[in-house]
Amino acid sequence: MTGSLGVRSGPRPATTSRFPHQQLDQQPDDPTLRRRLIAAAVARFDHVHLKPSGISVPGARAWVLDPGVQLIGKPFTVAALAAKLREVLDAA
């Protein structure tokens, strides 16, 4: 994987070994930071909302599309998914 993050210094964070995979320590000092970052990301997309998940563990949140809005129809192929992602990224 190519990137510019460099080598991580310090110990690896502790994580759960089961689904959903979660980081247990080394959290930001500001407990609201993650919520604020997620809210800012969701706000960038029309027809997308952050709501309680209807299919995951209790308390989990999900990015939900408005009724009738489809990113890509199902079933889909890898080629169709790649084309739709390219379309969305090019429009950003």
pLDDT of residue 75 exceeding 80, the answer is no
pLDDT of residue 58 exceeding 60, the answer is yes
pLDDT confidence bin for 2, thresholds 50/70/90: low
**What mean pLDDT is predicted for residues 22-43?**
84
CA distance 33 to 39: 10
Give pLDDT tens digits for 4-14: 778 878 888 99
pTM of the model: 0.44
**What mean pLDDT is predicted for residues 24-30?**
83
